[in-house]
Homo-oligomer: A and B are copies of this chain.
Amino acid sequence: MPKTPISARLCKVMNTNRAPLERFYSVIPAGGIGSRLWPLSRASAPKFLHDLTGSGQTLLQDTVDRLKPIAGENRILIVTGAAHKTAVQDQCPELSSENLVLEPSPKDSTAAIALAAAILVRREPNVIIGSFAADHVIGGQEAFIKNVTEAVEVAATGKIVTIGIEPTEPSVGFGYIKSGEKLGVGHAREVDKFVEKPSIERARKYVESGKYLWNAGMFIAPAKLLLEVLAKSEPELHDQVQKLAESWGTENQHSVFDSIWPTLKKIAIDYSVAEPAAEQGLVAVVPAKFSWHDVGDFAAIAELQGGGQRNHLAVLGNVTVLSDKSNGILVSETGRLVALIGLEDVIVVDTPDALLVTTKEHAQRVKNLVDSLKTTGHSDVL
C-alpha cells in the first residue's frame, strides 16, 4: 500500500472539464469464492483466479484486458481480499499499488465498491466509476466498449447506469431490472425498479413482457452520486467508508482499518444504492449488446465450452483424457490420465487434494456439499 496518498502523476489528471470517458475509472470488485465451482474454486483460490473459458487467461485477467481499451491501463482499480494480494499481483503485473485495495475480510459489495468510490473521488472529484465483477465471462469486445461508453455518457448526466442483459431464458438465478421510458441518450432507458430473483412463473412473465433485463451487477456512476445515495440509505456505512478512504495511503491506515473494518455492515450494492436510487428516479439502464455469462456452476462452464453442442466433452486443464462415449465437463489440475466411459452430462473436477464427480443436473448441489464440508471438519479443502 502506498505511503503517499495521491501521486503527483494522478494529480495532473484532476481536470473537472474533461469529456465523460476521460473521467472514467474502472473498479473490479474481485470477491466471492464461487462455492458451486468447488473443488476448483477455493477460499484460497477463488473463481476469478481461474481460467474457466480455456482462453489461457484467468477471468480476472480477461476482465482487466476488457477494460483497458476503455479506461486505460492505469485507470483500473481492483478491490480484493488481502489473502489474494500475491495472486492478483502475479496475474496483473502492470497493476500499481495505488490501484490495489485489499480488504481485511469479505464485507459484501457495498463496502468494496463504496470504498473504491470514496478513494477515487478524493483523487478526482468528478470521477465516473464503472464497477464490473472479476468473474464473469463476456463475449463481443466491440459491443462491450460501445455499451460502456454509452453508459458513461449517461452517467455524466447525473445517473447511476446499469448495463442490463437481455434474458435468453426465464432464469430464476438472477435479479431483474424493469426498464421504463427511453432517455434522450443512446439506447438508455429509465429503470422503474430492480426485482429480486423471481419464481419461474414470474420469470416467464418478465421475459414475455420484453421490459425486463437481467441484473449483471454492472454499475456506472459518478462516484460522488453513488456516495450521496449511500449516505441517505446507509448513513453509518457511508461515514465508515469515508473514514477508511480518508486514511487510505496515510500512516493511520492500518489502525483505522483495524478498528472500523470488522464493524462494517455486509450489504449488497443492489440494496444500498441501486434500489434506493431507482426509487428516486436516478437509475438508467443500457441494454447489453454483448454476450454475458456468470459461469455460476460447472454445468454453465460445460455449456459455454460446448457452444450448446450435445455430446460434447469440455476439457479444462492440461490433461490426457480418454473418453469413450462421454459428454459433460472435465476439469483437471493434476496431470493424471483420466478415462471416462459411457457418462452422460458428467462433471469431473480433479484437483490435487479433492475430487468431485457429479452430473450437470446436480451442479447446483455442489454449494450444499461445500457447506457440509465446513460442518464436518474438512475446512482444509475449502
List residues of A whose CB falls within 8 A of some B CB: 39, 320, 322, 324, 336-343, 346, 348, 350, 352-359, 361-362, 365-366, 368-369, 372-373, 376, 378, 381
Asked if residues B358 and A322 are in contact (CB atoms below 8 Å), the reply is no
Asked if residues A343 and B320 are in contact (CB atoms below 8 Å), the reply is no
Report the 3 A-B pairs with minimum CB-CB distance, sorted nearest first: A342-B362, A341-B358, A337-B354
**16 A–B contacts from the bound complex (CB under 8 Å):** A39-B339, A320-B378, A322-B378, A336-B353, A337-B355, A339-B354, A339-B356, A339-B357, A339-B358, A341-B356, A342-B358, A342-B361, A342-B365, A343-B357, A355-B355, A357-B357
In the complex, A348 Cα to B39 Cα: how many Å?
17
Residue numbers in B under 8 Å from A342 (CB-CB): 358-359, 361-362, 365
Asked if residues B358 and A336 are in contact (CB atoms below 8 Å), the reply is no
* Residue from B324, B357, B381 within 8 A of A368 (CB atoms): B324
Tell me the minimal C-beta distance from A329 to chain B in angstroms: 12
Asked if residues A354 and B338 are in contact (CB atoms below 8 Å), the reply is yes
Asked if residues A343 and B358 are in contact (CB atoms below 8 Å), the reply is yes
Residue numbers in B under 8 Å from A358 (CB-CB): 339-343
Tell me the minimal C-beta distance from A376 to chain B in angstroms: 8
Residue numbers in B under 8 Å from A355 (CB-CB): 336-339, 348, 350, 355
In the complex, A348 Cα to B354 Cα: how many Å?
13
CB closest residue in chain B, given A330: B357
- Kindly name the residue among A39, A358, A368, A373 whose own CB sees the greatest number of chain B CB atoms within 10 A: A358
Asked if residues A337 and B369 are in contact (CB atoms below 8 Å), the reply is no
In the complex, A324 Cα to B369 Cα: how many Å?
8
Asked if residues A369 and B336 are in contact (CB atoms below 8 Å), the reply is no
Asked if residues A353 and B366 are in contact (CB atoms below 8 Å), the reply is no
In the complex, A337 Cα to B350 Cα: how many Å?
10
In the complex, A324 Cα to B362 Cα: how many Å?
10
In the complex, A106 Cα to B261 Cα: how many Å?
70
* Residue from B324, B336, B368, B373 within 8 A of A365 (CB atoms): B324
Asked if residues B341 and A378 are in contact (CB atoms below 8 Å), the reply is no
Residue numbers in B under 8 Å from A357 (CB-CB): 338-341, 343, 346, 348, 357
Given contacts A322-B369, A324-B365, A368-B324, contact A359 B343 (CB under 8 A): yes
Residue numbers in B under 8 Å from A338 (CB-CB): 354-357
CB closest residue in chain B, given A346: B357
Residue numbers in B under 8 Å from A373 (CB-CB): 322
CB closest residue in chain B, given A349: B339
Residue numbers in B under 8 Å from A324 (CB-CB): 362, 365, 368-369
